[in-house]
Structure 1
Amino acid sequence: MSAAAAPTVAKSAPELVPPAGPTPGGTLPLSSIDKTAAVRVSVDFVQVFPRAAGDVGDQDAAVEAMRDGFARALVPYYPVAGRIADVSPGEPVVDCTGQGVWFVEAAASCALADVNYLERPLLIPKEELLPRPPPEEKLEDLIIMAQVTKFTCGGFAVGICFSHLVFDGQGAAQFLKAAGEMARGLPAPSVAPVWDRDAIPDPPKLPRGPPPSFTAFSFVTQVVDVSPESIARIKEEFSAATGQTCSTFDAVTAVVFKCRALAAGLPDDAEVRLGFAASTRHLLQGVLPSVEGYYGNCVYPVGITRTSKAIREAPLLEVIGLMRGAKEALTARFTDWMHGGAKEDHYNVPLDYGTVTVSDWSRVGFNEVDYGFGEPGYVFTLNDHVNIVASVIYFKPPAPKRGIRLMLRCVEEPHAAAFAEELAKFA
């Protein structure tokens, strides 16, 4: 590709991939967690599959096998081939229409190396990498879509768009792993899918406060790699000081929270809040017929609130202790909520500059999906347009790097350099 020519992507029209066999009809309920924790938004991400040097392979055959894998996976996962419908305002269900999922084939004019393996800043517009349905379909009614883009080097990028109302990250990864297993010729998914949304209790609705006021911030996207050595050092210091262990998530999130408080320029008495969705799968043992295989939302919000001054001045090990304390409170808070005993709505978080949310995508399973051309070298999200709340997303860095990659949309331009400087002390 000449240096002057910008890479282009030619997309085919989206095609429906229906289930490969007959599937049940009817409507299925969503769980109280699906309807409370998840907003009806699409989550967009891309899996990058570089090919080994010289291994161009038969790309068309690989795409055909992948499409077939989706069709076959939609038989056991038949609700995914349906559409989200409203039985009454604010009461979404899944209508098992069996229509199928939209699938887009595309071809890029360049090799993955020409576009830096889709690292940031993106050299191909994100719209070119993501599937979109035909205009007569409403995006918010769809459950999952896929686009596979072939590159001239033999590599692929797979863009996925899924509804958070139906899946959490782990659930979406479970479905994609099943599609990959079927594409590779397995007779059935290694994990049998479980719907059973109605097994989760439906606690009484808590009185909602006034609707949150939305401010659109101009967050700057920053990407920081935290080395395994830095993570190990922080964990060792915590262990030596307290005699306890802390997770990678505790250590790295405490660093981000503290660095942001130091850089964000908020008054001493301003509240700073850290929020993350903690997995509750382990707390649903005995509630669900089977936790393994359940692909609905299994999360509950956990957080820390302190003053800006308290977090700026607290030693890092103390902030790690706050992280651990917040996670330890999860069991009691979630159990309370499930049994209708919660006194406050933990889903209602002020959306001002003091709040930052954290999502860990490094362990949900998107990196382990194999559609027949190996596991992805890199996975990243594309929900960059969300400017209401500061966010941090954890990824695995592109292979062969190790450690944690942070995609940060945490601060506005005036605070970006100071934030990067504070993070560099730990990374």
Structure 2
Amino acid sequence: MSPTVVKSAPELVPPAGPTPGGTLPLSSIDKTAAVRVSVDFIQVFPLAAEDQDAAVAAMRDGFARALVPYYPVAGRIKDVSPGEPVVDCTGEGVWFVEAAASCALADVNNLERPLLIPKEELIPRPPPEENLEDLIIMAQVTKFTCGGFAVGICFSHLVFDGQGAAQFLKAAGEMARGLPAPSVAPVWDREAIPDPPKPPRGPPPSFTAFSFVTQVVDISPESIARIKGEFSAATGETCSTFDAVTAVVFKCRALAAGLPDDADVRLGFAASTRHLLHGVLPSVEGYYGNCVYPVGIPRSSKTIREAPLTEVIGLMREAKVALTARFTDWMHGGAKEDHYNVPLDYGTVTVSDWSRVGFNEVDYGFGEPGYVFTLNDHVNIVASVIYLKPPAPKRGIRLMLRCVEEPHAAAFADELAKFV
């Protein structure tokens, strides 16, 4: 018999105390970098709680208490004019769903891919009268018969980047565990981010619906160390895990994707710019808005196929070094082109590093998650790579890949296997 999940009706969790009203602006980065989409992910907590109901009640209370210092999160997104969203501090609260599964986590392979429970059963959704795009964050806690939990989170990318959303969830966890205040005080200050004149926009990118195949690949610490060691031996320099692994994916995809020699292939990722906002924001620590700027590496398909891996790693490092100048130029209105406007064809692959943003360090009172994973299977307009921490006790990097269509999937897996 297939496992079932019974959900309770969504309930609003309002702030535990009075909160300010009014509207708050979003930053120019919020409005430029983040389209008005929701991001869904799951945190898996395999450790059994002695009293699941008490643990869930404490978690709900943690959200209510965290919404007092994070009072904008209890509000709603609204447009004051077309394309000009703000946060309306209504104090309504966040939607919270309780659910119970008919099985143990082990019965569904601890929610490893392929999912044995439909993802719709694990993520929160509001009642039909609420517009999902207006909400800032929601949570669903699903109890399993083994005493473990899955926590599904849905957050608005317009209000948070990954690090910002993790910061709020860590605060909710701290309050659930009885701390009197979050260990990091929240900072809004969106208006402190410069709003430079926008460079002329090119035509909007055309959208093609691809049929990307989901592939999961684990790269061991030993493989990562070997790749980094080869780069160091060849150049006398060091490189990060992100540089090494992303260069492998970029090269393997170029080898497998079947694109002509002169076709453009592009690697894109959103680099954190928090370190570049000291002196711009009153306090960088605690800021939970979008703090990213796009980094792009365009080359011909033939160039990436034929380049030694050490050379592709070098391209990664050069692009990251150039970030400071590009972002500073953007802040002062000197950008000559719209770096956020990325061509969305088969040659483009985007990379997101979820392994270090903080979702794995959230503790609602039943320990840190053994595994965190995203639910991006519906995204078919651009190839994507997401870095995750593999389920404990494994180490290294897990890649959630939606990079190629079926005709190229086997070749892509074969190329990756040479490195992992």
Shorter-normalised TM range = over 0.9
- 1-structure distance, mates of 2:69, 2:355: 27
1:346 aligns with 2:339: yes
> What does the per-residue CA deviation read over 1:4-41, in whole Å, with 9 as the maximum and x for residues that have no partner?
xx000000000000000000000000000000000000
* SS class of match (2:286): coil
Q: What does residue 78 of structure 1 align with?
A: 71
Match of 1:19 in 2: 15
Is 2:376 aligned against 1:373? no
CA distance in 2, matches of 1:240, 1:288: 40
Cα distance in 2, alignment partners of residues 11 and 206 from structure 1: 47
Deviations 1:359-400 (A, max 9, x none): 000000000000000000000001210100000000000000
Query: Does 2:319 align with 1:326?
Result: yes
Tell me the distance in 2 between the aligned counterparts of 1:325 and 1:359. Answer: 18
1:243-287 Cα deviation digits (max 9, x unpaired):
111000000000000000000000000000000000000000000
| Whole-angstrom distance in 1 between the partners of 2:231 and 2:205 | 37
Q: Secondary structure at the match of 1:39?
A: coil
Gaps of 5+ in 1: 1-5
Deviation at 1:205, TM superposition (A): 1.6
Query: Aligned equivalents of 1:237 and 1:216: distance in 2?
Result: 38
TM-score by length of 2: 0.99
**CA–CA distance in structure 2, aligned partners of residues 383 and 268 of structure 1:** 30
Q: Aligned partners of 1:106 and 1:201: how far apart in 2?
A: 43
Identity across aligned pairs (percent)? 94
For 2:153 and 2:409, locate their aligned partners in 1 and report how far apart those are by CA, in whole Å.
30
Structure 1 position 30 matched with structure 2 position 26: yes
The CA deviation at 1:211 is 1.2
Whole-angstrom CA distance in 1 between matches of 2:8 and 2:406: 39
Equivalent position SS for 2:113: coil
Question: 1:72-111 CA deviation, whole Å, 9 max, x = no partner?
Answer: 0000000000000000000000000000000000000000
Distance in 2, matches of 1:383 and 1:371, equals 24
Q: After TM superposition, give the deviation of residue 298 of structure 1 in Å.
A: 0.2
CA deviation after TM superposition for structure 1 residue 288, in Å: 0.2
**Cα deviations by residue, 1:327-378 (Å, 9 ceiling, x for unpaired):** 0000000000011000111001110000000000000000000000000000
Give the CA deviation at 1:241.
Answer: 1.2
CA contact (8 A) 2:62 2:175 kept: yes
Match of 1:21, SS state, is coil
Moved more, 230-239 or 71-80: 230-239
Aligned partners of 1:35 and 1:306: how far apart in 2? Answer: 29
TM-score (norm 1): 0.97
Q: In structure 2, what is the equivalent of residue 238 of structure 1?
A: 231
Residue 102 of structure 2 aligns with which residue? 109
Equivalent residue in structure 2 for 1:265, among 250, 258, 266: 258
Offset, 1:207: 1.3
Q: Take 1:201 and 1:416, find their aligned partners in 2: how far apart are those partners?
A: 43
CA distance, structure 2, for counterparts of residue 10 and residue 305 of structure 1: 48
2:392 matched to 1:399?
yes
Distance 1:51 1:98 in 2: 34
Moved over 6 A (4+): none
Match of 2:128 in 1: 135
Contact persistence 2:257–2:408 (CA under 8 A): yes
8 Å contact from structure 2 (residues 48, 146) kept in 1? no
Matched residue pairs, number? 418
Whole-Å separation in 2 of the counterparts to 1:292 and 1:334: 19
Question: Counterparts of 2:376 and 2:23 in 1: how far apart (Å)?
Answer: 30
Distance in 2 of aligned mates of 1:89 and 1:336: 28
Q: Secondary structure at the match of 1:329?
A: helix
Distance 1:326 1:253 in 2: 13
Distance 1:81 1:97 in 2: 7
1:224 maps to: 217
Deviation, 1:240, is 1.3
Secondary structure of 2:238's aligned partner: coil
Structure 2: how far apart are the matches of 1:384 and 1:43? Answer: 12
- How far apart, CA to CA, are the structure 1 residues paired with 2:324 and 2:107? 48
Shift of 1:52: 5.3
Residues 196-253 of structure 1 deviation map (CA, whole Å, 9 limit, x = unaligned): 0000010112211111110000000000000000000111111111111100000000
Distance, in Å, in 2 between the alignment partners of 1:390 and 1:49 is: 29
Gaps of 5+ in 2: none
Query: Following the alignment from structure 1 to structure 2, what is the Cα–Cα distance between the partners of residues 52 and 233?
Result: 37
Residue 413 of structure 2 aligns to a residue whose secondary structure is: helix
CA contact (8 A) 2:161 2:288 kept: yes
What value does the CA root-mean-square deviation take over the aligned residues? 0.7
Q: Distance in 2 between matches of 1:210 and 1:131?
A: 35
Cα separation, 1, equivalents of 2:333 and 2:325: 12
